[in-house]
Chains A and B, each alone.
Chain A
Amino acid sequence: MTVMADPVVREEHAAAVGDSPRRRPPRRGRRQWAPLWLLTPAGLVMGVVTVVPIVLLVLISVTDYDQRSLFTGAFAFVGFEQYAAIFTDSDFWWSLVRTIVFTVAMVVGSVAVGMGVAQLMTRLGTVMRYVVTVVLICAWAMPNVASSLVWNWLFQPGYGVVNWLLTQLRVFGDMTDVAWSQHPLLSATSIWALIVWQAVPFIALTLYAAQVQVPQEYYEAARLDGASEWTVYRSITLVFLRPTLLLITILSIIWDYNVFNQIWLISQGGPDATTTTLGIFTYKTAFVGFDLGGGAAISVVTTLILLVLTAVYIRNLVRSGEDL
């Protein structure tokens, strides 16, 4: 309706004409170059570090680049042959399935444990809370290569502490000689444990920060009404945590989809390709077998899959009116 539009139009017009002394509007036809100059260094770095490798990746994926090409520079364009080879390779499809299963397991594990730890921290006294925070940060700050190597020694058959501990429990029998990285399910479990252990601190601290924002009156009111703790958590905490939880889930999906170091250092994709996710499969194809064209094609497909997943998720978020 025109009546409603007027104040808005008048405001914009006023701003454009320059009634307010604070803003000097740009004259028509004169661009402002200062912001662009300031952005150039960062833009250049981003371009070189991000854009050029992506362009090169796509270019390599349409060639037959291999070890010989690395040494002599000779290669040929083969069109979409590499992509056709991937889609007919059962190893690729199995890697994709493993990646999805692994990612879901890791995201569910880390978010669930993270939510639990965040809830725990709201109930702790000040001193214990500080202790828990410091411990969480130490776990999170440890470089994942160092933690993978330590994990290897923890789960070492014969000398590993974990095997000894589990044997002491007297529930699983004698676990001293169990080789975690050589047993399909056990290697996946130890890798899952490592990744969840290092993912939980970030999730827990972020959720804790969000949880302390929840106004206490809601809790008091709910408890006065006689709600059980589970109902309180479900109806109040989760509702307020929803935006943060959704953001954390997207981030976790992206990070866990791309996990490489931990898997490579613990099991190298074995045993028998059980832990060969798409990242490991790409590395093995491109840098162990030196089929760089094929590896590049797998990388492009992997990135597109993740892009599609994330786009669908964000589109749903935006449609449902949530803030990102």
Chain B
Amino acid sequence: MRTTRFATAGALSIAAVFALASCSGSGAAAGPDGGPLVVPTTKAEGESLTVWVMEGDYQDATLEAINDAFTEQTGAEVDLQIQQWDGITTKISTALSTSTPPDVIDIGNTQVSGYAANGGLLDLTAYEDDLMQGATWLTGLEEPARIDGLLYAVPGFAGTRAVIYNTAMWAEAGVTEIPTTYEELTAALDAVAAQHTEADFSPFYFPGQYWQSSMQFVWDAGGEIAVDSDGTWTGGFSTPEAQQGLEEFVEFQNTYSTGASATLDNITPDQNQLFADGKTSALLNTGGGIAGIKKANPAITDDMLGTFPFPGRSGEQQPAMLGGSVWGIAAKSQHSDLALQWAKIAGSPKMQEEYVFGVDGWIPNSVEAVEAAQESGLTEQQAGFFAAALVSKATPAAADWPTIEGDKSIAEFFGSIASGAKSPADAAKAFDAHLEDVLNG
């Protein structure tokens, strides 16, 4: 019937008009002009601030301390939500695009440049001086949060990777000195392997897909992930240095870790759990791993755990990935003044020294805090991580880097080499092509 056809066409066009109207948004919120600003101290009784925290980043005690200080200062409550790492880039991007995003987000420093460059985070440049509170932030944390000189996030903490080993198991095998060279490390692991011959025991558990750790071998040999020359990125895994590093990684992984682990990542199964259950005597993990192991098995005490930086074949310790987290505020946040106050508290020297370093064992976000921590005396466990932080590297500072982490291509790359499914040369060629495709937009 003619009427029905017209009615349908009319309904569709009305729907399209509504859709288009909602589609075209306004431009970015107007930023503060003029000189530096102080973080507002508004009170907001009864309001609620939404904070997203990544799993494993902060202990409950630390988050409670920040929340209590915040509630005391503003009267507002905090709705804390713990997020999983799998698929987080998609989840954060989706959340930042809504009109009621989470106000404060705990973002990995390898992922923040993507959101900042695309306008998802609030520009904090005007509040910079007040947020710093007199401290000098670590470059590895501040750099990724700056786009064109503008600041988009407050550094939270830094972490590097060091070897965590079971002192009891190693003492049983006759190893009492901390290895300082690669040969000493392999000798120690061989001694442990001789004592434990179960099929599912790894002297050194090294999941093949845990690329943040595997990269240390490539960096130790002189390779890079990708090199930027005049705005064009070139993948670095096909260079002779990187190939050598990859082959050394495969050799180590295949010798000291179970065959099953070649294609697994560090989360399924949880490598801290495996260590706590006695299925391995050593693993390469961040400072949070200590807390994670003790949580998985409360019977493990501090004197059973030791740490040291992974010694490289080059004779120096392997460069460790300087990971870390920063606190970003959503550009469309409905409570930006409350969010600024929360972020200021989380990044404050007091919180950093007492909780981020004191409770979590992370490396605090500023040079002054690191020095204070070293003066106050590092525990044996923390010493290894702080030593590892002295030689550290970061992932490429490209706006599209989060896509490489999100599509798991880098994890699969290392996993396929470790399992022998592909030769390092073939896998590197394919992965470099993918890297260049994504990083160059």
Residues of chain A touching chain B, judged by Cβ–Cβ distance below 8 Å, are 47, 51-52, 55-56, 59, 66-68, 70-75, 152, 156-159, 176-177, 179, 181-183, 268, 270-272, 284, 287-290
Contacts and interface: CB of A to CB of B under 8 A. Distances in A.
A119 B291 CA distance: 57
B23 A73 contact: yes
B118 A71 contact: yes
Given A55-B12, A59-B20, A179-B419, A72 B28 contact: yes
A176 B260 contact: yes
22 contacts: A52-B15, A55-B16, A56-B23, A66-B118, A67-B118, A68-B119, A70-B93, A71-B115, A71-B120, A72-B118, A73-B24, A158-B259, A158-B260, A159-B260, A176-B260, A179-B263, A181-B263, A182-B419, A271-B416, A287-B90, A287-B93, A288-B403
Contacts of B407: 268, 284, 288-289
Interface string B98-125: 0000000000000000110011100000
B15 A68 contact: no
Those 4 A-B pairs whose CB atoms lie nearest each other, nearest first:
A73-B25, A158-B260, A70-B97, A157-B260
Contacts of B96: 70-71
B259 A177 contact: yes
A67 B93 contact: yes
Contacts of A158: 200, 258-261
Contact of B25 (A52, A74, A159, A284): A74
A182 B403 contact: no
Contact of A71 (B16, B119, B200, B263): B119
Contact of B27 (A55, A72, A268, A272): A72
Contacts of B89: 288
A207 B92 CA distance: 45
Contacts of B416: 182, 271-272
Interface string B9-24: 0011001101110011
Given A47-B11, A272-B416, A289-B438, A52 B28 contact: no
B406 interface: yes
B193 interface: no
B25 A72 contact: yes
Contacts of A287: 90, 93-94
A272 B434 CA distance: 11
Interface residues of B, number: 48
Contacts of A182: 263, 412, 415-416, 419, 421
Interface in B186-204: 199-200
Contacts of B415: 182, 271
A52 B90 contact: no
Interface in B15-54: 15-16, 18-20, 23-28
Name which of B199, B200, B260, B262 has the most chain A CB atoms within 10 A of its CB. B260
A55 B421 contact: no
B200 to A, nearest CB: 6
A58 B35 CA distance: 46
Contacts of A73: 23-27
A270 B19 contact: no
A55 B366 CA distance: 50
A74 B119 CA distance: 11
B278 interface: no
B321 interface: no
A236 B156 CA distance: 73
B200 A68 contact: no
B134 interface: no
Given A70-B97, A284-B407, A288-B407, 8 more contacts: A67-B93, A71-B97, A71-B115, A72-B27, A75-B23, A156-B260, A182-B416, A288-B403
B295 interface: no
Contacts of B93: 67, 70, 287, 290
B350 interface: no
A159 B421 CA distance: 20
B315 interface: no
Contact of A157 (B28, B90, B264): B264
Contacts of A55: 12, 15-16, 19
A288 B406 contact: yes
Interface in B396-433: 403, 406-408, 412, 415-416, 419, 421, 430
